[in-house]
Structure formats: structure tokens, C-alpha cells
Chain A
Amino acid sequence: MCLGIPLKLVELNGAEAVGELNGIKRKIRIDLVKDVKIGDYVMVHAGFAIEIMKEEQAKEAIEILKELEGVI
């Protein structure tokens, strides 16, 4: 039950935020992560950020995702 995807926070609005990846934006809830700021990367599951990711590692995750996409 673990489908999750890293998103970058581009807007903050109380308990809500907008996360972005590859031009796709999604409204998410950030109740479960403390002290986030714009530019932070979070792991998102079922519409909620469940953890903050460390930036270099988030970028690594995104690279991995890119490779998995099979884009040449």
C-alpha cells in the first residue's frame, strides 16, 4: 500500500500545498510533515506528504524515475 512519488513544494497554504514534478502539479496535504518550505521535496502518498526528502536524494529519486520512464 505504498505507491508514493516525490514532489517539489511550489505553493504553501496552511494544511494544503501544491507539489510539482515534470510540469505536473497536484494539491496535497502537509499535515504530516513539519516545518516545510517552498522548494522542499516530499514523498507523497494518497494525497498526503508523508515525509520530507533530502534534496540531493530527492533529485536522485527523480533521476531514477526518469530512467524508469524509458525516455531516450
Chain B
Amino acid sequence: MLILGDEFISLSYGNGGKKTSRLIEELILPSLGNDQLNNLGDGAVLKISGDIAFSTDSFVIYPCFFPGGDIGKLSVCGTVNDLLMCGSVPKYLSLSFIIEEGFKLSELETIINSISATAAKAGVKIVTGDTKVVDKGHGHGIYINTSGIGERLPGISLGRERISVGDKVIVTGSVGNHGISILCARENLLEGDIESDCAPLNEPVEAILKYGNDVKILRDPTRGGVATTLNEFTEGMNFSIELVDEHIPVDSNVQTAADLLGLDPLYSANEGKILAVVSANVADKILEDLKKIDVSKSAAIIGEVVDYMPSKVILKTKFGGKRILDKLSYDILPRIC
């Protein structure tokens, strides 16, 4: 990929001048263009009906290319999934790049194509954006921010105040894949196919939300993993969540990598999974529906809402032992001992 004979991004690509225009015309619009974006206005003017959900996320992942995806795919999935967890249908995204001087144009092209493909899969349009370039040494290659708007689904009310004792906790697949895959890629520690699970979750969310008021809350367990996210549900509330260790799906290669690195999949990020708390009477049916969808075929009921030890998350081990699953309070340090 060359623009004006350049192989690399230089500072002038961010100054709003000729090179910025060429970047937009030759790289961004061909891949991401649509009616709104093509206008290249200061902002996008959009038609939305009813209530909206609005979310933002910034992506600073390193390395920016990893097994199972790249920062582009992640930047779409991250915001799309957050909108989905709010009970909305994602519609529009903004897209901002902060690119380090010296970044390869060919890699930028790959990332933009990823964004385009993922946006199409998630049913969203990129309607406005921005590009800045920073001096070499002031950014880890590329940072991306996406903000998004979704249309709230009528009659859906999600929040932890709706959770009640007896509800079941579902996870839509194996845990810890993303975090562990990134650490392996970053540190070049292991060979093996640990792929990030990064994926847009439109289909499984649609399947779950068919059950309306029986769905209490949805969350994608990103930073801090399943353990931290469940603690966000219980903190300060008068219920707790009890998980059954044996029911939590973990891929064997992820567990092995975690063991080798001294990490815990329960605290490792996921980018293509949902944690759902639902009424007990629909849990099995929801599970059945989820298993028919590719991205949630390993879904499982992993626990339930109980009332002893309120505001905690408790893990029941194989022999009836119990332990507290606290939330992540600091960067998980790889242990050797």
C-alpha cells in the first residue's frame, strides 16, 4: 500500500492537509464509505427513533495484530457489544485513530479492512471519524476510539437491581481466551492456537432478549474477566452469586497456557462472550437456543443467585469446598510460584 509513494505514516498525515485527504480518499472511504461518512462533514446527522443507548471505548491493545483478530476488529466488537449489553440494536459508530509516526500504511489498510468487515457483520455503519498522528515514541503504533449509538429495544429493562435470588447465571462460551491469547502473543511465550474470542454478539443477544423480562442483566466480561464482572453485579447488593467450578467452560489449551504462565482464566479478558442473569424457569430454554448459534455453542449455566454472604461471588469446588472469588484489584502478575 502506497499513498503518494509513502510506505509509512508521517506527521503530515495528521495535519488536515493534502496527505490527510489522500488518506481518507484512498484508504478510508473505499473500505468504510457510506452516505453519511462520504459527506466528510464535521459530524454525522442521523435519524433515530425512540430511546438510544450510547457507548464509548478506547483500544490500546498491543500487539495490534493477534491470533483471532486485530485492533480494528476489536474496536468495532468492543463498542457494538457494549451497546448490545444495554439492550439496544447497534446502529452507528464514530471512529478515531491516533497513529504513531512510522506506522506502516499496509498495516493500517489491514486494520481498516478489518473494521469494515466487522462493522458489516455487526450491522453498523461508521458515520464519522478523525485521524491524528503523533510523534514517534508517543503511542504504541496505533490507538483507536469508537463511540456508538444503538436503538433501545422496547420493553427491555436490564440492570443489576432486577436480579433476584434463584436466578441463574449463563456464560455463552469458554472463558479467558482473549486475555491469555494476547499475553502469549505479546510476550512470544508459547506456540499454540490460542485465539482471541473477539466477535460481535448480535445473534446470541437477540436470542436471549426474546425472553423479555426474564432477562435481568447482560454484560460482556472484558477487563478483569468473569470474576470481576460478576463482582460488579453483586457489590453492595443483598444477594450473592454462587458458581460451580466444574460447570465453567475453559478450553484445555487456554488452561494449559494459563497454568504455564501462572494466570487464572477467570480473571482473563473475554471479547466475544456474554454473562447473562436470567430467571430460573427460562435458563434451560435460553441455553438450548444459544447452543444453536456458532459463537455461543459452548454456552453453559455456571451458577445461581443466592442470599448467603451477600455482595460476594463464591465458587463451589469439586468436593464441596467454597471460596470467595474476589474482583481483580490489580494487574494479574504472572506467577512462577
Contact = CB atoms under 8 A, between A and B. Distances in A.
A65 B255 CA distance: 9
A3 B262 contact: yes
Given A23-B192, A24-B190, A69 B250 contact: yes
A59 interface: no
Interface in A8-46: 18, 21-26, 44-46
Contacts of B247: 70, 72
B262 A22 contact: no
B8 to A, nearest CB: 33
Contacts of B193: 23
A42 to B, nearest CB: 13
B191 A70 contact: no
B245 interface: yes
A5 B256 contact: yes
Q: Is the interface of A mostly helix, strand, loop or mixed?
A: mixed
Interface size class of B (residues with CB under 8 A): 20 to 34
A66 interface: yes
Contacts, number: 65
A70 B336 contact: no
Interface string B152-196: 000000000000000000000000000000000000011111100
A2 B336 CA distance: 7
Contact of A22 (B248, B253, B300, B335): B253
B259 A3 contact: yes
Given A3-B336, A46-B336, A72-B300, A24 B249 contact: no
Contact of B191 (A25, A67, A69, A71): A25
Interface in B253-301: 253, 255-257, 259-260, 262, 300
Contacts of B337: 1-3
B251 interface: yes
A24 B192 contact: yes
Interface of A: 1-3, 5, 18, 21-26, 44-46, 65-72
Interface of B: 189-194, 245-253, 255-257, 259-260, 262, 300, 318, 335-337
8 contacts: A1-B337, A5-B256, A26-B190, A65-B256, A69-B251, A69-B255, A72-B247, A72-B300
